[in-house]
């Protein structure tokens, strides 16, 4: 499942390439036809993320809310901007920009940027043919595209989301209000930490489950959950009310830093023991990125005990039974 850093990166990408532009909005799949008609021809005024939720606001004050869920992803085609503003950008996002043409003067190929659980850039030959024999722009939808946002130079296709709906501004505010603090959107990180500490320590639910509860803290998914708890050397099965407040606050502060790193780098790299060469190697090899996530049966990188995988609230939970007890 795409986690909080991915949705923030999607929001920044859409802000670069779609905000401020009148958009042709359609639903090639047909399942979002009514919502697409409501937004078609309108101008997107902002694209923001809170946790795993994306909110795209239009000049009518309508809000497109998207939750990617387990399998959702965005495909962007055309003149896709590299993420900038001083961020260190992955090579895939720093690829040369491609200026799309038209039906009568099209490019021979276009860039496709897939933004979901991972990010992949590729050069795609547009399959259609224009009047002069060249590939058409925009490229025809491929597969089950729930919604297409077309600015004329960039096309963003959404496929496989758990949620895709148009809300009023008030309805969108209600959704946001139900979410826990997100380090990237709060005004006061320390005050937000107080909220998280209170929401964890007053409940008897396992802390590993509470960290995945988006009403407690927004944006943490299965990978971040496993890694945050290992870095804190905390047993995920510990009831929240038995976790010291200072431990919860340390986890929150760790989440603040890890989320910022993920947004910057476009991947989840949680091992703080790596030097510069090790971090570079981990950027290219996912098996080097994590302490326990995805390492069931392999030796703990600290103590050598085999990492175990269990089920918590229908999701896989990875932990070291020696380090986290």
Dihedral in degrees, nearest 10, Cα atoms 188, 236, 306, 253: 10
Beta bridge partners, 110, equal 124
Residue 148 φ/ψ, nearest 5 degrees: -120, 130
Q: Catalogue the E-assigned strands of 91-248.
A: 110-115, 119-124, 145-150, 154-159, 163-167
Q: How far apart are CA 305 and CA 157, in angstroms?
A: 44
Q: CA 165 to CA 54: how far, in whole Å?
A: 11
Q: How far is CA 282 from CA 2, 92, 156, 269, in A?
A: 19, 16, 29, 7
3-class SS at 31? coil
Beta strands in the chain (DSSP E): 24-26, 44-50, 53-58, 63-67, 73-78, 110-115, 119-124, 145-150, 154-159, 163-167, 308-312, 315-319
Catalytic annotation, residues: 2-3, 52, 315
- Asked whether 50 and 110 are in contact (CB, 8 A), the reply is no
- Beta sheet of 63-67, edge-to-edge order: 44-50, 53-58, 63-67, 163-167
């Amino acid at each position: 499942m795409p986690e909080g850093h991915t949705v923030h990166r999607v929001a920044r990408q859409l802000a670069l390439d779609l905000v401020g532009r009148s958009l042709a909005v359609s639903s090639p799949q047909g399942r979002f036809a009514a919502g697409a008609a409501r937004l078609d021809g309108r101008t997107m005024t902002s694209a923001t993320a809170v946790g795993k939720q994306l909110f795209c606001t239009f000049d009518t004050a309508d809000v497109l809310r998207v939750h990617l869920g387990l399998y959702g992803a965005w495909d962007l085609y055309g003149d896709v901007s590299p993420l900038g503003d001083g961020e260190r950008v992955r090579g895939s996002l720093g690829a040369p920009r491609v200026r799309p043409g038209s039906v009568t003067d099209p490019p021979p190929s276009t860039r496709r940027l897939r933004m979901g659980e991972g990010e992949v850039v590729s050069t795609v030959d547009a399959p259609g043919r224009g009047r002069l024999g060249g590939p058409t722009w925009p490229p025809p939808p491929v597969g089950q595209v729930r919604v297409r946002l077309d600015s004329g130079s960039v096309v963003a296709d959404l496929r496989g989301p758990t949620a895709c709906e148009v809300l009023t501004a008030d309805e969108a505010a209600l959704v946001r209000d139900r979410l826990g603090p997100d380090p990237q959107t709060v005004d006061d990180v320390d005050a937000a930490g107080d909220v998280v500490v209170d929401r964890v320590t007053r409940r008897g639910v396992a802390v590993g489950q509470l960290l995945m509860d988006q009403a407690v803290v927004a944006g943490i998914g299965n990978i971040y959950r496993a890694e945050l708890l290992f870095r804190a050397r905390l047993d995920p099965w510990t009831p929240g009310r038995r976790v010291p407040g200072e431990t919860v606050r340390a986890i929150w502060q760790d989440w603040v830093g890890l989320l910022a790193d993920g947004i910057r780098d476009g991947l989840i790299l949680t091992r703080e023991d790596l030097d510069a060469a090790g971090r570079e190697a981990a950027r290219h090899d996912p098996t080097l990125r994590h302490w326990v996530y995805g390492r069931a049966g392999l030796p703990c990188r600290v103590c050598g005990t085999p990492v175990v995988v269990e089920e918590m609230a229908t999701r896989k939970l990875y932990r070291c039974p020696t380090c986290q007890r």
